[in-house]
Structure 1
Amino acid sequence: MKQEIYPDEYLLDILRSVKTIALVGASPKEIRPSYSVMAYLLAKGYRVIPVNPGQAGKEIQGQKTYARLGDIEEAIDMVDVFRASSALPGLVGEVLALTPLPKVIWTQLDVRDEEAAARAERAGIKVVMDRCPKIEYARLIG
């Protein structure tokens, strides 16, 4: 899919179908955007699993934090990325090593890598880049 245009139906389908979200780059600091997005998604009923190597084994918002995606012991529907664009190629490699594969990789505002997105899409994973699920949820679902 052309990465700058996402039909509302595409985003709605994702937001309505995913249940478990791995939030890569989760922060325990309330001033960080990842903290408020995680709180919002939890409040909307999603299971949110924080991923942050510096916080592994600790809790963020009452959820056990993992060092990396491969350490999570349950299936993930979506990976929400709060990392720099330069981290996406390696992160997509981590995602492609998961069994089962997540349905979606969603990258936050200003996070883009067309080649990494194409690699994920070739594996059958939907990709949303440069968008925030909190913003899109509020806009589309309320």
Structure 2
Amino acid sequence: MTWDLPSPFVIDIQVEASSIDHYGHVNNAEYLRWVERASWTHSRHLGLSLEDYRALDRGMVVHRHELDYLAPAFEGEPLQLATWIVVCDGRLTLERRFQLCNVETSRTLLRAQTRFACIELSSGRPKRMPPRFVEVYGNAVASR
């Protein structure tokens, strides 16, 4: 696969019938679910789970999603979704990029970007990232 950036974290996706919309291809909302799955899976891989978020009373919540749909995906197709952390300001925000490719054709089907903000889970208010977030996410920032 030709990825946009080096050293991606990649999840495999097999397009299921439940992902297909009335037009016969993957529903746009499904791509967003896959982006969320890749984000959580990558965070766990880096060593931060939902339990860690709760223990630290902090969470990274979506501030903005941008999804560019480049080509459709269809039932049964094997896909790979790559993600990179591209910005971690060490204070409040984190940005990820995503690239979804068809394994058989290597065609890029989607490019996306998500900006996250750190909040205190108990209040829902913006709060500075705890040192553990800065360490884990900051050390995972991709080189361009």
* TM range, smaller chain: under 0.3
Structure that is richer in helix per residue: 1
Of structures 1 and 2, the one with the larger relative CO (CA 8 A, separation 6+) is 2
- TM-score using structure 1 length: 0.21
Structure that is richer in strand per residue: 2
